[in-house]
Chains A and B, each alone.
Chain A
Amino acid sequence: MIAFIVLLPFLVALLVVSLLKNGKLIAYVSIAASLIGLAMLPFVSLGSYSINWFNVGGAEISLMSSISEINILLLILVLGLAPFIYTYSLGYFKEKSSLKRYYVEMLAFTLAMAMFAISGNFITFFVAWEFLSVTSYLLIGFWYTKGSASEAARKVITIVFIGDIALIASIALFWNAYNTFTFSNIISETGKGAEPIVATILLIIAILTKSAQFPFHEWLPDAMEGPVPVSAYLHSATMVKAGVFAAVILFPIFLHTKTLWYFVVIGLLTAILAVTNAMREKHVKRILAYSTVEELALMLSAIGAGAIGAALYFFFAQAFYKSLLFFSSGVMIDANESENIEKIYGLKKNRFVYISTLFGVLALAGFIPFDGFFANIGIGSSFANNLAAYAIISLISIGTSFFIFRWLFVTSKDTKNRNVNIVYLSEPKSMIVPMLFLAAIVILASAVFFYFAYFGYMLTLSIEESIIETALVVVGFLFGYLVYSKQKIKARLGIIEKLAYNSIFINLFYYVFARFVYLIGEGVNIFDLYLNDLFDWFGHLINRLGDLARGIVNGDVSFYALIVIIGMILTWILVVFA
């Protein structure tokens, strides 16, 4: 069956929704579309299909779908999460007037993401990739009247757009080298001769920008200015994984150009930066965002180490518990009207929310038998041969467990404020039910670990690794418990604590860089003004010459006679001597 058909429900819904006015109706249509999309998933079969778009001078520009097991994996995330996200959004948006704009943008995003998931050549890939940037821009700046939201949207698109242009330049260079846009052809061509190294580096830049890796990673926490469902869907589960996905499907290119170690180094560095930030951050969603950055970094470094199976299982498992945690942060923000974890209380009040959140936290930390545990095992074992990398991964594991339990303990403290408790208990079902479903998936997805061979990768579990992993997670948990729940340890680390929050330095770097570019612009502008003056001055010069020439025509007959005589003498000299 033609894979493009999975796009159809969203396309139709987009058309229908743009004609409707009633916010709730729009939401129902969108939810229905996402359910139909999900229902189509079992009918997607392996194979490829292409539609010609246009041909120019030997370049065949066509839209191509190519379905392999990996594409299906991403499609499961995109289509599987959409109904939950859409349903949650219905309860999340209290004012129904902006629902239309929201669902239009969200449907457009899902469309682009599904197209991305099935893309079989660089053209389809780029079209979808660019639309991901655009819809992300629109959704982050959803509350555009809020200054911070519009600024965050601007910052994100500016950073992500660097990757977009790097990608199209890289596509052009790959085309020049291999004369094809199709992934399968490119992959079969690699390793046969000179590799286009510049194109590969540009592709890596595109991956790093999209998947929020050092030095571009600070856009992801800023993206948290968007609504909660947007953060849950775009900025944790699907869109940010576009880069990781690209690294997986184009793996042979990096293998043959020997650039895989870039991913390992950058990935581990980013993971360290993200974990230390997450420990000090106070914004409830930004903590989760840093955690996403860390997880993406681990995925990329696992790919760099060649453990694609492990990376892909992480890729799959992370989407569910991270969406779940974002959903729960949405409830917290709604009840407390604050995004600072120190000002958030009473998570325990609503049992359904608390238990599902607990599931998410345990999964993220990596407790057995949640899917996060298996994901962490996979990542850890991919570095089993490299002791230094394994040590870093272990520290990151402890840190992850620590900051997520901090997140849980700080937000679940009790309060006497009755309003908060009332809001917790009166949250709409459309918000709670998706959370319960996701909590169930977080456990059930563990089983996928053992059946991952379906996606082409066999994953195995050893007892030693399980014990080590559990020990690391428990250490992190104990730290979190003692510091934030029992408040037994009052650690004051002073300068180290301040340095740990490295987000400030990265943003300072962005600021300095942007200032630098702007100053170049100002400098060029001043040069341009002088250039303009130069040309004007040239005009004045000619004017002056005209004035001088005019001086000769002064009406004085004797002066004219003098000129005639001088002319005659000059002519005579010329004639005689030449």
Chain B
Amino acid sequence: MIPILFAMLLLPLAGVLVALIARRWASGIAVVVSLLELIIFLLAAWQFANGGKIVESYTFIPAINVNFELILNNITFVFTLLSVVVFLAVSIASRFFVSEERTGYNLLLMLAEAGVLGLFLSGNLFILYLFWDFSIVALFFMLFHFGGYDRRYASLKFIIYSIFSSSLLLIGIMLIYFYLPSHSFEIAQLMSTGYMIPKNAQLLILVLLLFAFMIKMPVFPFHSWAPDAYSEAPPGGAMLLAGVLSKFGIYGLIILFVSLPLAKEYALYIAILFVLSSVYGAATALGQKNLKRMLSYLSISEIGMIGFAIATMNTLGMSGALFGSLSHALIISLLFLLAFVIEKLFGTSIISRLGALIKRDKLVSYLFLFGIFAAIGLPLTSGFVTDLLIFLGGAKSFGILILVPATAIIINASYLFWIYKKIFLAGSEAEMFDLLDKNAKASMILLVLLIIFIGVFPPIILNSIGAII
């Protein structure tokens, strides 16, 4: 049997080697690698749909019982899918955005892809931790070297927060290792025997990991790194940070909630924390002057809702969280892509300096409107399924607490429609510095089609997720 998941992991690394030799074609290689990843993933998904979860295991460090284990199961399926898709969109879009030092950029992109896929596919907390840091380092260099004007400040902030988060994660993982009766790093073991961890140890693990994941998601009050990092990152970097890296925390949170019974006891408080974060994100976005920062807070707001869905601890909410992760990855990537396109085309992303873009570029305007509608949950886009599942799950577990995320959605909609009018419809025409090329268009259309596709046919994703609890 072909080690299909291992191949997914090796492919970007092979791409790095090839790109080092054929430097001129680096960006093309990155696209090909991402495309091949998608194809391999679809093969794996087909295998998964027919034969259940795929497990590949190699001996790694026998002394501490660590195997190099890769798993494609109902949870990792969603996260792998969203990473593969966002990486494809990023690698295509980067051909439009990155004109200098393409080799370096694409090397980092492929390294990050290997790291992210390794993280989501790993069946083992030890490996997960290795890839967690690996991808953060790759993203840090991308941000540090290719970012915007304030990139040094933003990237430093990003790396400090990330290291803090991953140290907490490391301590948490070690505690899990020591307190699990089987002394194992395996996620499957954690999920099935997590309840055997003594209660005070559970509390300690819960607190440590919750902090680690809340920083990474990010959730109020640990979100300060995100708006800086998202808006100073290069276009691809921002899409990856908001679309994919934010899912590290969500993925971890899902594992945490499924494994530790203690989490259920504190679920209400954790849920309140997340819904407050979603309203906080929405309210802060209201006061932003810069489109990219506004989208960062929109992302924080929506991540808060996904966290709320996880805290419901019922199948509806969990499915909502997983489906929502995919949906959020696609939608926020699309919106960030559009924001960076606007910045490149019109030289600024400050809202007050933009105006009447619809007269200049119809495609961007239509797609942005589509992005807004998807973000606020228009039926037949993935946003609707997410909202519906989050509300249903929330109503089941917490009753009228769902009014808080509902308020957040209303606030989000209010400023999104306001900026749409301000940037695209009203005002005097902005000066145009550049033209959209086919790479950027292809990337945007890819995301739009996927948002519609999974919005119209949600069973494709939901059936793969199945019941988690």
Return A443 CB to nearest CB of chain B, in Å. 40
- Which residue of A has the minimal Cβ distance to B358? A144
Give Cα distance in the complex from A215 to B459, angstroms. 40
A147: chain B residues at CB < 8 Å are 426
Task: Answer yes or no: A198 CB below 8 A from chain B CBs.
Answer: yes
- Which of B221, B287, B403 contacts A522, CB < 8 Å? B287
The segment from A153-161, A292-300, A379-387, A450-458 found at the interface with B is A153-161
B379: chain A residues at CB < 8 Å are 126-127, 130-131
Asked if A525 contacts B288 (CB within 8 A), the reply is yes
Asked if A524 contacts B283 (CB within 8 A), the reply is yes
Interface residues of A in 39-71 (CB under 8 A from B): 53-59, 61
Give Cα distance in the complex from A145 to B389, angstroms. 38
Interface residues of B in 386-411 (CB under 8 A from A): 387-389, 391-396, 399-400, 402-403, 406, 409-411
Binary interface encoding of chain A residues 164-205 relative to chain B, with 1 for a CB under 8 A from any of its CBs, else 0? 011011011101100000000000000000000010000000
Asked if A520 contacts B283 (CB within 8 A), the reply is yes
Task: Answer yes or no: A539 CB below 8 A from chain B CBs.
Answer: yes
B359: chain A residues at CB < 8 Å are 145
Asked if B160 contacts A539 (CB within 8 A), the reply is yes
The segment from B178-186, B196-204, B332-340, B415-423 found at the interface with A is B415-423
Give Cα distance in the complex from A165 to B390, angstroms. 13
Asked if A532 contacts B373 (CB within 8 A), the reply is no
A535: chain B residues at CB < 8 Å are 224
Return B410 CB to nearest CB of chain A, in Å. 5
Give Cα distance in the complex from A398 to B394, angstroms. 50
Interface residues of B in 345-394 (CB under 8 A from A): 356, 358-359, 373, 376-380, 384-385, 387-389, 391-394
Return A285 CB to nearest CB of chain B, in Å. 21
- Which residue of A has the minimal Cβ distance to B314? A57
Asked if A56 contacts B389 (CB within 8 A), the reply is yes
B356: chain A residues at CB < 8 Å are 145
Asked if B283 contacts A166 (CB within 8 A), the reply is no
Give Cα distance in the complex from A173 to B288, angstroms. 33
- Which of B314, B378, B395, B458 contacts A175, CB < 8 Å? B395
**A54 and B417 in contact (CB under 8 A), knowing A59-B392, A150-B425, A165-B410?**
no
Give Cα distance in the complex from A38 to B236, angstroms. 51
Interface residues of B in 151-191 (CB under 8 A from A): 160
Asked if A150 contacts B421 (CB within 8 A), the reply is yes
B130: chain A residues at CB < 8 Å are none
**A521 and B421 in contact (CB under 8 A), knowing A168-B387, A169-B402, A531-B221?**
no
Binary interface encoding of chain A residues 264-283 relative to chain B, with 1 for a CB under 8 A from any of its CBs, else 0? 00000000000000000000
Asked if B426 contacts A151 (CB within 8 A), the reply is yes
Give Cα distance in the complex from A122 to B421, angstroms. 31
Give Cα distance in the complex from A147 to B428, angstroms. 10
Asked if A166 contacts B406 (CB within 8 A), the reply is yes
User: Which secondary structure dominates where chain A touches chain B?
Assistant: helix
B377: chain A residues at CB < 8 Å are 130, 168
Give Cα distance in the complex from A520 to B358, angstroms. 31
Give Cα distance in the complex from A58 to B224, angstroms. 39
Task: Answer yes or no: A433 CB below 8 A from chain B CBs.
Answer: no
Task: Answer yes or no: B446 CB below 8 A from chain A CBs.
Answer: no
Give Cα distance in the complex from A467 to B395, angstroms. 53
Return A385 CB to nearest CB of chain B, in Å. 36
Give Cα distance in the complex from A485 to B70, angstroms. 86
**A130 and B378 in contact (CB under 8 A), knowing A145-B359, A521-B286?**
yes
A520: chain B residues at CB < 8 Å are 283, 286
Return B342 CB to nearest CB of chain A, in Å. 17
**A176 and B396 in contact (CB under 8 A), knowing A57-B316, A517-B286, A531-B224?**
yes
Task: Answer yes or no: A414 CB below 8 A from chain B CBs.
Answer: no
Task: Answer yes or no: B55 CB below 8 A from chain A CBs.
Answer: no
Return B337 CB to nearest CB of chain A, in Å. 22
- Which residue of B has the minimal Cβ distance to A150? B425
**A171 and B391 in contact (CB under 8 A), knowing A56-B462, A58-B315, A144-B425?**
yes
Task: Answer yes or no: A227 CB below 8 A from chain B CBs.
Answer: no
Asked if A158 contacts B413 (CB within 8 A), the reply is yes
Task: Answer yes or no: B274 CB below 8 A from chain A CBs.
Answer: no
Task: Answer yes or no: A518 CB below 8 A from chain B CBs.
Answer: yes
22 of the cross-chain contacts (CB-CB < 8 Å) are: A54-B385, A56-B315, A56-B319, A56-B392, A134-B373, A147-B426, A151-B426, A158-B418, A161-B414, A162-B410, A165-B409, A165-B410, A168-B377, A168-B387, A168-B391, A169-B402, A173-B395, A176-B395, A198-B403, A518-B287, A521-B287, A524-B284
Which 8 A-B pairs give the minimum distances between C-beta atoms? A521-B286, A57-B315, A525-B287, A172-B391, A150-B425, A172-B395, A127-B379, A176-B395
